[in-house]
Amino acid sequence: MKLNTKRFIAGILIVSFFVYSIVIYTVGTRVDKGEKYVTEQAKKGKLLFQKKNCIACHQLYGLGGFMGPDLTNEISALGKGPLFAKAFLMAGSERMPNYHFTETEIEELIAFLTYADKTGVSPVKKFKINYDGTVNWKGKDETRD
Amino acid sequence: MEPLTGKGKMKRETSIYFILFAILSLLGGIAFGILGAFQFVIPKFFELIPFVKCRPLHVSMVIAWIFLSATGGIYYYLPRYCNVKLFSNKLQKIHLWIFILTGIGVIISYLAGKFGGREYWEFPPVLAIPIIISWIIFGFNYFKTVFTKTEPWPVYLWMWGTGIFFFLFTYLESNLWNFSYFRDHLIRDITVQWKAGGSMVGSWNMLIYGTAIFLMDRIQQDNRIAKSRLAFIMYFLGLTNLIFNWAHHIYIVPNAIWVRYIAYGISMTELLILGKLIWNWKRDLTKSLQDFHLLSVRFIIASDVWIVLNLMLSILLSIPAINIFTHGTHLTVAHAMGSTIGINTMILIASCLFLIPDVTKVQFSKRQSLTISIGFWMMNIILLFFWVALILAGYHKGYMVVEDKLTFQEIMLKIRPYLMVVAITGTVIFAGVLMVFVPALKLIKAYLRST
């Protein structure tokens, strides 16, 4: 392969990387179904979620550690909800340490989980598999339990 | 002839420190991994360092092993084997010191329970600054060095340069969450985080696979493969995947649908890589087996086997219809562990076992070689059980989650036997790694004493 050909292909790919990145930062991630739940409290809750490294054990959209459950829809899940979450945040459990959160911190974390809950569904339990190996991504929010 | 210092001793190679700290990092990383694995199955196990600290310690130290060993190798191979003079030894030393001091800072912050960052980079974000500076220094030193080379570059020089360049950008990208435009929009935040993370893995794979090609080129004294058209086609295919295939990690996240279609389509081009590997399997293996007695070659051959196994798994996990069952399960962990131990670590051990005797000018004794060989077989055979246990745990968890009849706790109880196998086999793998590295550490210790 000639040097100029290699340079040309590498150049095209590097430019593609930057263009694609900008597209992802904008139109690729424009939609946020939970937008109106992004309160100051939820923003603080998200930072607290990071500071306590909750993701080491929990997941959002199936991403994170597997010691504890996925928290994406913890707030709207049947038999769970804000009070259920609050109980764990106040006392911990056999596997979850008691972080001695203040009342304000608990409210912030619940506000963040409420926002996360409105953005989508995880795990997806009802879906249709298409012939090309894809699933019904379009309709997945309608299949929410 | 080695340059001599004023006292008549050999001049000490800076790269050996990269390798030394890489090995120590790996041993620490696996130890914390084992601790975390047992905490998974035995609640309250060793509460002094809870899981929330063990996991980041495990991940960060293993990542440090990858970077330190790959970087140390590149610094050593460039002036010795690539017909170039390293632009600056001083910058190499500065790079090493920044890396070590930042690493110590990261470990202290984890042990103190000070987090604030994101998954895989959980330390307080201020520590990202020296990491970025160190990679700028590395990139500057690397490109100033290789741009003096007038003859056509072998593919591994392209791969190393690509790895450094893309790591720097993806690492910067992974820190975009510090801006509220990204942080306050959960879907954008997760998407960008996994875009950066996915491409970053591709960038360090460039450093590692480049090292593997370099080693085979050197050992077999044949640079035709590293300059062949096919090698460059595979390199560009790998680069395309680095840029576009990351969204297979986040099919479930409700970003634009075309992001997922692009990732799915590009991920399937990995079938070409798999096909090429299988097509040339017998020829490549026959050639490599002639050098099986060489320790480095042995680890490269093992990595080839693991590449095929993990590539098959990775292609399957990239199919959305399968991914919907496997996402968020231990199948993903099987893929991550299989790649990190089976591919990356095997190649980097090969590099260490090539580099250490080359630097120290002392070969492993027969007894040491035997110990390393036993460690090699132990690691690879037990890794297979470890990998399969994770696959089975993931398969059962995925099925039970979608079936939606059991609670999270009930599911975890059902897969507990598999996770126990993971913890036990992980411990045996650690013993295998120790058997490989104790002789290597002895050579380094003797070298450091004599220089």
Instruction: Read off the pLDDT of residues A57-101 as tens digits, 9 standing for 90 and up.
Output: 999 999 999 999 999 999 999 889 999 999 999 999 988 999 999
CB atoms within 10 A of CB B222: 11
Per residue, what are the HEC states of chain B? CCCECCCCCECCCCHHHHHHHHHHHHHHHHHHHHHHHHHHHCCCCCCCCCHHHHHHHHHHHHHHHHHHHHHHHHHHHHHHHCCCCCCCHHHHHHHHHHHHHHHHHHHHHHHCCCCCCECCECCCHHHHHHHHHHHHHHHHHHHHHHCCCCCCCCHHHHHHHHHHHHHHHHHHHHCHHHCHHHHCCHHHHHHHHHHHHHHHHHHHHHHHHHHHHHHHHHHCCCCCHHHCHHHHHHHHHHHHHHHHCHHHHCCCCCCCHHHHHHHHHHHHCHHHHHHHHHHCHHHHHHHHHCCCCCHHHHHHHHHHHHHHHHHHHHHHHCCHHHHHHHCCCHHHHHHHHHHHHHHHHHHHHHHHHHHHHHHHCCCCCHHHHHHHHHHHHHHHHHHHHHHHHHHHHHHHHHHHHHHCCCCHHHHHHHCHHHHHHHHHHHHHHHHHHHHHHHHHHHHHHHHHHHC
Residue B118: strand pairing partners:
B121
A122·B252 Cβ contact <8 A: yes
If you average pLDDT over residues B326-339, what whole number do you get? 96
In chain A, where are the structural domains located? Answer: 1-30, 35-143
Which pLDDT score is estimated for B5?
A: 46
If you average pLDDT over residues B407-435, what whole number do you get? 96
Distance in Å, alpha carbon of A94 to nearest chain B alpha carbon: 7
B254·A57 Cβ contact <8 A: no
B52·A56 Cβ contact <8 A: yes
Q: What is the CATH number of domain B269-451?
A: 1.20.210.10
A34·B320 Cβ contact <8 A: no
If you average pLDDT over residues A115-144, what whole number do you get? 78
Of the listed ranges A83-87, B2-6, B368-372, B387-391, the least confidently predicted one is: B2-6
Taking contacts as CB-CB distances below 8 angstroms, the residues of chain A near B233 are 1
Which pLDDT score is estimated for B116?
A: 94
Angle between helices B366-403 and B295-317 (to 10 degrees): 10
Q: How far is CA B199 from CA A17, B52, B157, B173, B292, in A?
A: 10, 26, 19, 10, 33
Which pLDDT score is estimated for B222?
A: 82
In chain B, where are the structural domains located? Answer: 13-150, 153-257, 269-451
Nearest to B188 among A29, A64, A97 (CB): A29
Which pLDDT score is estimated for B291?
A: 79
Residue B362 identity: V
A28·B52 Cβ contact <8 A: no
Q: What is the CATH number of domain A35-143?
A: 1.10.760.10
A133·B183 Cβ contact <8 A: no
A137: pLDDT confidence band, cut at 50, 70 and 90? low
Which pLDDT score is estimated for A142?
A: 38
Which pLDDT score is estimated for B4?
A: 45
Q: How far apart are CA B385 and CA B382, in angstroms?
A: 5
Residue B6 has pLDDT above 70, yes or no: no
The residue among B185, B252, B418 with the most chain A CBs within 10 A of its CB, best to mutate, is B252
Distance in Å, alpha carbon of B394 to nearest chain A alpha carbon: 11
Residue A139 identity: G
**Is the pLDDT higher at A69 or at B293?**
A69
Which pLDDT score is estimated for B173?
A: 97
Residue B3 has pLDDT above 50, yes or no: no
SS3 at position A129: strand
Rounded to an integer, what is the distance from CA B161 to the centroid of its chain?
A: 17
Taking contacts as CB-CB distances below 8 angstroms, the residues of chain A near B244 are 16, 20
| pLDDT averaged over every residue in chain B | 93
Tell me the pLDDT tens digit for each residue of B90-141: 999 999 999 999 999 999 999 999 999 999 999 999 999 999 999 999 999 9
Judged by a CB distance cut-off of 8 A, whether residue A62 touches chain B is yes
Q: Which value does ipTM take for this structure?
A: 0.95
B183·A116 Cβ contact <8 A: no
Nearest to A3 among B50, B152, B236 (CB): B152
Which pLDDT score is estimated for B374?
A: 97
Judged by a CB distance cut-off of 8 A, whether residue A102 touches chain B is no
The whole-model pTM stands at 0.94
Distance in Å, alpha carbon of B187 to nearest chain A alpha carbon: 7
Taking contacts as CB-CB distances below 8 angstroms, the residues of chain A near B52 are 52-53, 56-57, 97
Residue A138 has pLDDT above 70, yes or no: no
